[in-house]
Copies of this chain bind each other. A is one copy, B any other.
């Protein structure tokens, strides 16, 4: 058995049985080892698709996928979606092919400081030193990636360790003992229960694993008993929502609206997140969004078991047996007329299939969507935690690989979609059930608002030339066709609703251009 075979075997033994890959020459032995039928490999035509897909996989499976990337530049191409995954608490194991150790001193053209590139966005970086240590390194990488929250583990694989024979049986591995999610602090729970009992206006902000599963119900019981409001930051890694679920409010994105929203509260209670901060800074506007006299209390840190913490809190306020408020189904009906954020949101809500997963990178056009899909059939939403554009279509790809029985609807701005548009090809190749909805306003529309937010009013011609992407207009029908994804273009709400229903029902990927 060579090192690469040992690596693939060990990854699978440790539960990592999917690899999103963009290989090169230095990874040929890893490719040969992929003949192992226990490992599924999914080819991506760009590394940012692979790392985004690994993020999407984690969001649904809560377990890491592997990526296979080609030396420093291949890692670099995947870094922005690694950043997004890191901010989402998504674990992944990145395998970075590297020159053979003896070749490094010659500084061949593709050589670079891989550790240096990996460290700023990885929690754990290791360079394998021999074929014999690879299995142990793989165990350590998976252990790191599987922590709560998930971690970015990057394993650098020199060619000689990949092709060299394993000569020492690996036996059992010393595990570093990455702790499971920590036990909640009972004293903190009691202090927070006292805050809730005080009746002072309070907002509980849920994040991470607190936004789905039983945690949501416990939060709903606390709200039902105490009258506290419960919600999320503007961006959340995954929310279970829709009819029958405990509904969550959403903090606004824009600084003035967020400040206004939080004025109502004397207390903020955080669960797997911190206090709300502005996404960007603007001249003369605050970074912190709460009022100065608002107190922040942490119920559970990101590495603590927030479900248990919320259950303890429900007990502390005597809410265990209460029925939480559950979102009723709201029939938005078939929309008609012009396409605008409202009619688009209605169409998305009404055409949503049961258990759909909505991956949202819609920025401006989609701003109404979350509100109006709140009463749709049960579904999940997934949002961009790191803010690096180009996360949507790769994450949707990984989500669809992870959940083949569910429909993935990816709503994405045209500007954003262009960063990692190669995702469409993998969706077609794997026959993934993804409906990609492109909001084609032919502009980095959000930047027009941000230009005004910075105090400039309307952009001048040169600035506008860096914001409008209408010359040429991207032909989305052709773009879908180019990568084997059937595409349609719609110009009315009726047509959008109709095509959305049709695409959501058809197996495999499809693309809808929403012409704005």
Contact = CB atoms under 8 A, between A and B. Distances in A.
Given A25-B280, A109-B386, 17 more contacts: A31-B451, A37-B462, A43-B465, A45-B415, A46-B419, A70-B389, A73-B387, A74-B388, A76-B79, A77-B77, A79-B79, A87-B109, A102-B281, A117-B121, A428-B472, A474-B483, A474-B484
15 contacts: A25-B450, A28-B456, A31-B462, A41-B462, A73-B79, A73-B387, A76-B388, A77-B77, A79-B79, A103-B277, A112-B120, A116-B116, A116-B119, A160-B281, A474-B482
Interface string A375-402: 0000000000111111000000000000
Nearest to A463: B31
Nearest to A159: B281
A163 interface: yes
A293 interface: no
Interface string A73-102: 110110110011001000000000001101
A418 B44 CA distance: 10
Given A79-B76, A120-B72, A31 B459 contact: yes
Contacts of A113: 120
A425 interface: yes
Contact of A34 (B71, B235, B462): B462
A422 B428 contact: no
Nearest to A79: B76
A214 to B, nearest CB: 27
Q: What is the count of identical protomers in the complex? A: 2
Contact of A100 (B281, B428, B429, B482): B281
Nearest to A451: B28
Interface in A328-343: none
Contacts of A453: 25, 28
Contact of A481 (B76, B77, B425, B478): B478
Interface string A31-42: 110111100010
Contact of A108 (B71, B279, B456): B279
A479 interface: yes
A287 interface: yes
A188 interface: no
A476 B475 CA distance: 13
A268 to B, nearest CB: 14
A236 to B, nearest CB: 12
Nearest to A21: B466
A129 interface: no
Interface residues of A, number: 102
Interface of A: 21, 23-26, 28-29, 31-32, 34-37, 41, 43, 45-46, 48, 70-74, 76-77, 79-80, 83-84, 87, 99-100, 102-103, 106-110, 112-113, 116-117, 119-121, 159-160, 163, 235, 274, 277-281, 283, 287-288, 385-390, 415, 418-419, 421-422, 425, 428-429, 444, 446-447, 450-451, 453-454, 456, 459-463, 465-467, 469, 471-476, 478-479, 481-484
A45 B281 contact: no
Contacts of A116: 116, 119-120
Contact of A385 (B23, B106, B109, B117): B109
Nearest to A86: B112
A159 B140 CA distance: 40
Nearest to A455: B163
A278 B277 CA distance: 51
A483 B421 CA distance: 12
Contacts of A415: 45
Nearest to A277: B106
A392 to B, nearest CB: 14
